Each structure stands twice: as C-alpha cells, then as structure tokens.
Amino acid sequence: IGLEELKKVLKDKNTLLSGHSGVGKSTLINAVEPSLDIRTGEVSTSSHHKGQHTTTFAEMHPLQIGGDIIDTPGIKGFGLVNMEKEEISHFFPEIFALSKGCKYHNCLHVNEPLCAVKEAIESNNIAPTRYESYINQLNDYDEENHYRSTSH
C-alpha cells in the first residue's frame, strides 16, 4: 500500500511497529509524520545493505492525523514453538491462499511440481521479499525440536 493509504489505516488508532533491527520502522514513521524527525541510521555499506539499528527504547509519538504510533527497537531473534514445517505457510496469507491451488496438499512451495505459489512468484503476483522471508523461515526450522528460530 502507499503512504496515503497507510495514513488512512493509522488514523485515530494506536499502532505499534515491530520488526528486525534496521528494516526501516523509524524511517516509515518519519514518512508518515515528518515533523517527528526521528533519528535514523544510514543504509549499511556492508554486503547486506540494510538499515542500521538506531532506536534503543520504545517511544509513543502522536500523529497529526489522530492516534499514536509506537516505534520500537529492532527484534534480534524470533522463535515459534510446536509448529510443523508445513504450518509455516499459514503465517503468510498470500502464500497460504495460493497453496490451495498446488497439486500436492503437503507442498512446501520450494521445488515441488505444479506449485501454485511458485507460479505466482514467477508471474510477480507475490513480492519476492515475502517469499524470501518464507524460505528463510523454512530453512531455520529445527526438524528435531519442531522449533523455528531466527537471529539476524
């Protein structure tokens, strides 16, 4: 969605932004409410080309459109317990919806034939970054403990 559509969603609500360190939470808040002028870091010149961790504590900011937005420090690690590998796609609505069109009910959307998700990616109907996030979560899955953990 665009910035104007986002403002409509945020209007008169209390919103908390969370995510990995350096993904642009504070930059997004500055785009919505430039008068806040929240300190942000430059994009890293290292090989990962991501933002740099800048926010060190959660802070709530009033929005001129009504409501408040809470900027939080980045999450360095995240894990889910008691989840089967096949359930990871359930947390990606666009992937889950398309998975019903896959030939095989246990399709993981990686290398399986007649995969509706892979077809959607090839035709640019799913954002590549969303699919990459899904694949990263699959790769982080611990078969023995049924636990997925990321640390970025």
Extended beta strands in the chain, E state: 13-17, 59-62, 67-71, 77-81, 141-142, 147-151
pLDDT band at 39 (very low <50, low <70, confident <90, very high): confident
Q: What are the tokens at 81?
A: 């317990």
pLDDT at 90: 92
| Pairing of the two strands 13-17 and 67-71 | parallel
Range of lowest pLDDT (17-31, 85-99, 110-124): 17-31
Q: What are the tokens at 25?
A: 């939470």
pLDDT band at 10 (very low <50, low <70, confident <90, very high): very high
The domains located in the chain, with CATH, are 3-71 (no CATH), 77-151 (1.10.40.50)
41-76: pLDDT as tens digits = 665 455 444 444 456 788 899 999 999 999 888 777
Contacts of 90 (CB under 8 A, 6+ apart): 96
Q: What are the tokens at 110?
A: 């990686």
The residue ranking higher by pLDDT, 46 or 79, is: 79
pLDDT at 94: 95
pLDDT band at 108 (very low <50, low <70, confident <90, very high): very high
110-132: pLDDT as tens digits = 999 999 999 999 999 999 999 99
* Mean pLDDT calculated for residue range 83-91: 87
CA dihedral 54, 58, 62, 64 (to 10 degrees): 30
- How many distinct helices (H) and strands (E) make up the chain? 5, 6
